[in-house]
Amino acid sequence: MKDNILTFIKALTLITILFLPIYLITPSSSEKNPNVIKKIDISLLEPVIGKEGGTLRKALAADAKTFNPVMAQETTSTAVIGVLFNGLTKTNLKTLLPEPDLAYKWERNKEGTKWRFYIRKEAKWFDGKPVTADDVIFTYNQIYYNPKIPSSAKDILTIDGKPFILKKIDSKTVEFIIPKPFAPFLQAVSQPILPKHVLEKYIKEGTFTSAWGINTPPEELIGTGTYKLVSYTIGQEAVYKKNPYYWEKDSKGQKLPYIEKIKAQIISDPDVRLIKFLSGEIDYYGVRAIDLPELVPKAQERDFTIYNLGATPSTLFVVFNQNPKAPIPKYKLNWFKNQKFRQAISYAVDRKGIINLAYNGLAYPIYTAVTPANKRLFDEDFYPKYPFNLKKAQKLLEEIGFTKRKDGFLYDKEGHKLEFTLITNSGNKERETIGNILKEDLKRIGIDVNFQAIDFNNLVTRLMSNYDFEAVIIGLTGSIDPYFGQNVWLSSGHLHMWYPNQEKPATDWEAKIDSLFKKAAVELDPNKRDQLYKEAFKIIGIQQPMIFIVAPEELIAIKNHLKNVFPTVWGWYKDEWVFTEKQ
C-alpha cells in the first residue's frame, strides 16, 4: 500500500466539488449582475482564527422534497440537508483535490485497484454512536447498490457496469476493491455515508425510498455533518445547531464550525429575499442582474460586499420529452425525437437577446453542456453552434415535413398543428423572461407555444416521476469532472432528461456517448480523458437533446460582519471557518 495519493491523483483526474458528486436539478440560475464589485482569489487566502458562537441567517429558495440524501435529485433538497452528512472524502476548493473527511487517511496498492480507508476514531453520529466500517459497507451494498432503490449515486459507483467490492478490515477500516484503475475514484467515495443502526430497518421493510420524508421529525435525521437539523416548518424555516461531535478544530483547539446556529427562512420569491437581505434579516443573497441598481448604492450604508464569482458550471436549457412512457401524443414524441426538429428550435433561440434581456449581459451563450468554468473542456471552435437564425430554423422544419397554413402556423404531414406546452418554475424571473422570449420568437416561424410557470417541486415531479411534460426550461448544476454527471449523460441515468432509465440505449448516438463516458472513467491520462469527454459533448451539441441556452455568471452579496468568507462558483471554501462578529 502507498500513502502517496496526492501525487497519484494529480496525474489522474479532474474533480467535482459538489456535496453530492452528481448533477442536480436547480430551481434557479445563480442570480447575477454585470458590475464587478470584488473578486476573490482563494489561491492567495486562508482563513484566520475566529470565534465561536452567533447565528448565520440565510434563505432557502424552496422546501425540500425529501430529507433522504439518496433520493434527493434537486438542489431544493440538498440545500436543506447538505450540512448533515459526510462522505469518506471531500474536495478542497483551493487545490481541487480530494482531502480527508470521514476517513482521515487512505492507502492504495500499486495498481490502484485496492483502496483502504481509515475512519476517524472520533467520528460519531448525531446520537453519539461511533461511525464504523459497517456503516460504510451498509451504505454501499444495501443502499447505493440496491436494485430496488433508484439512486442517482449508482450511476457513478460502477466501473464497466461492475460495483465496487467492499471488505471490512476492522471496525474502523474498510477496503474497496475495484475492477481496474479508476481516475475519479476518490471523488466517487465522497457520497454520504448513512447510519446502519437507523436505516437498516427501512431496507428490511422495503420502505427506504419513502424514509426520511419532509414530515420526519428532525431528531430522527442522523448524520455526521457540521450541523444537525433541529426544526423544520414547511414553507417557513429550517433551524440548525452545531454538531457537538464534529471532529475538526482550529489551532487553538476551538471546535469547528465556528457558527453556533443557522436559521434558514424558506422564501421562494427572490424579490422578498432581496428585501430581507437589505433589511438585515438574512446575511447573504444571490444577486440577480436586475438587482445591482438597488444594491450598489446601498452597499456601504447597509455594510455588505458584492462578489463577482465569474462564470458558473451551471447550465440553462430547454429539453423536449422523448420518453415513450410519457403521457403525451405519439406524434409529438416523433417531433421531439427528430434531430432536425431540435436543431431548428436551437436556431430559433436568440441567446444574445436572452443574455441582454434576462441577465443584463452577465451570461455566456452555450450550445452544449460545457461552460467557460470548465476550462479544460471549454473550446468555442470545437463544438457546433446554432446562431440565431429564424429562416434556417423554419427551413429545417420544412425539410422534415412541416408546412405553413393560412393561419400562420406550421402543421405536420398528418395535419397536426405544431404546438407544445413549455413549462418552467414560477418565481424565477430569468426563466420566465426566457419562456416569453421563446414563445414570441417561435411564433414568428409558425410554432404555437403554451408557456406556463409552475411550482418547482411540481415541475420536478413531472420531469422525474410521471414524465408529464412536453418541454421544460430547467437548469443543472455542473461538475469539474463530467464523470459525476453520468446520471444525466448515460442512457441509463436517472437524470437523462429527455428519456431516463433506459434499459439499453434508444439511439446509436446515445450508445456512443455511453461508450465515451465509460472509456473516460478508466483513462488515466488527463489529456486523453478530456478528449473523450469533448467528443461526447460534441455529440450532445450535434444532436441537441437538451437545447442549451446560457451559462450565467454568479454574484453574491454578503454582510461584512461575516468573516473568513471565500465564496466560489463551486461553493464556499472552508465554510466551517466562517464566523460572525455579530454575536
Query: Is the pLDDT higher at 35 or at 504?
Result: 504
Does the structure show a pLDDT above 70 at 13?
no
498 C-beta neighbours (distance < 10 Å), count? 18
- Mean of all residue pLDDT scores within the chain: 91
Q: How confident is the model at residue 284 (pLDDT cuts 50, 70, 90)?
A: very high
Helix (H, G, I), strand (E, B) or coil at 355: helix
198 grid coordinates? 437507523
Query: Is the pLDDT higher at 553 or at 152?
Result: 553
The residue among 97, 250, 204 whose CA lies nearest residue 576 is 250
Cis peptide before 257 (omega within 30 of 0): yes
Q: How far is CA 473 from CA 357, 361, 496, in A?
A: 16, 19, 15
Give the span between the Cα atoms of 385 and 407, in whole angstroms: 32
pLDDT at 487: 87
With the CA atoms of 152, 155, 158 and 159 taken in that order, what torsion angle do they form, in degrees rounded to the nearest 10? -160
Give the span between the Cα atoms of 251 and 274, in whole angstroms: 37
Does the structure show a pLDDT above 80 at 37?
no
Q: Which residues of 393-427 are buried (b: 16+ CB within 10 A; e: fewer)?
A: bbebbbeeebeeeeeebbbbeeeeebbbebbbbbb
Q: How far is CA 378 from CA 478, 480, 488, 505, in A?
A: 13, 11, 19, 27
Q: How confident is the model at residue 33 (pLDDT cuts 50, 70, 90)?
A: very low
The residue among 210, 207, 203, 240 whose CA lies nearest residue 223 is 240
pLDDT in tens, 448-462: 999 999 998 899 899
Helices (H), ranges, 456-574: 456-461, 486-489, 508-521, 526-543
The residue-averaged pLDDT of 64-89 equals 94
Q: How far is CA 88 from CA 17, 47, 105, in A?
A: 14, 23, 9
Q: How confident is the model at residue 535 (pLDDT cuts 50, 70, 90)?
A: very high
Helix (H, G, I), strand (E, B) or coil at 92: strand
Q: How far is CA 247 from CA 219, 225, 226, 576, in A?
A: 20, 10, 9, 12
pLDDT in tens, 468-502: 999 999 998 888 788 888 889 999 998 899 999 99
Does the structure show a pLDDT above 50 at 356?
yes
- Residues 313, 490, 157, CA angle at the centre, nearest 5°? 85
Give the span between the Cα atoms of 337 and 324, in whole angstroms: 10
In this structure, what DSSP letter does residue 464 have?
A: I
370 C-beta neighbours (distance < 10 Å), count? 28
Q: How confident is the model at residue 27 (pLDDT cuts 50, 70, 90)?
A: low
Q: Which residues of 67-91 are buried (b: 16+ CB within 10 A; e: fewer)?
A: bbbbbbbbbbbbbbbbbbbbbbbbb
Cβ neighbors of 534 (< 8 A, separation 6 or more) are 370, 377, 379, 382
Q: Residue written as cell 404546438?
A: 419
Which residues, in sequence order, are bridge partners of residue 308?
555
Do 1 and 109 touch, CB atoms closer than 8 A?
yes
- Residues 224, 560, 296, CA angle at the centre, nearest 5°? 125
Give the span between the Cα atoms of 306 and 357, in whole angstroms: 22
Number of H helices, E strands in the chain: 17, 27
Which residues, in sequence order, are bridge partners of residue 302?
none
pLDDT at 54: 97
- Residues 325, 329, 330, CA angle at the centre, nearest 5°? 70
Does the structure show a pLDDT above 90 at 439?
yes
38 — phi, psi (to 5°)? -155, 140
The residue-averaged pLDDT of 41-49 equals 88
439 grid coordinates? 414563445
Task: Give the range among 1-5, 99-103, 291-295 with minimum mean pLDDT.
Answer: 1-5
Give the span between the Cα atoms of 279 and 291, in whole angstroms: 15
The residue among 262, 264, 209 whose CA lies nearest residue 233 is 264
Q: Is this prediction's pTM over 0.85?
A: no
411 grid coordinates? 402543421
Do 133 and 123 touch, CB atoms closer than 8 A?
no
In this structure, what DSSP letter does residue 141 have?
A: I
The residue-averaged pLDDT of 185-194 equals 95
pLDDT at 15: 27
Q: Residue written as cell 454585470?
A: 34
Which residues, in sequence order, are bridge partners of residue 552?
363
Helix (H, G, I), strand (E, B) or coil at 450: strand
The residue-averaged pLDDT of 436-459 equals 95
The residue-averaged pLDDT of 256-284 equals 97
Does the structure show a pLDDT above 80 at 35?
no
The residue-averaged pLDDT of 348-376 equals 92
Does the structure show a pLDDT above 60 at 4?
no
261: left (phi over 0), alpha (psi -120 to 50) or beta: beta
Q: How confident is the model at residue 84 (pLDDT cuts 50, 70, 90)?
A: very high
Query: Could you tell me the strand order of the sheet in which 237-242 lies?
Result: 55-60, 261-266, 237-242, 227-233
Query: Is the pLDDT higher at 212 or at 552?
Result: 212
pLDDT in tens, 378-422: 998 999 999 999 999 999 999 999 999 999 999 999 999 999 999
pLDDT at 2: 38
pLDDT in tens, 301-310: 999 999 989 8
Q: Which residues of 247-274 are buried (b: 16+ CB within 10 A; e: fewer)?
A: beebeeeebbbbbbebbbbbbbebeebb
Residue-wise DSSP of 288-333? PTTTHHHHGGGHHHHTEEEEEEEE-S-EEEEEE---TTSSS-HHHH
Query: Is the pLDDT higher at 527 or at 2?
Result: 527
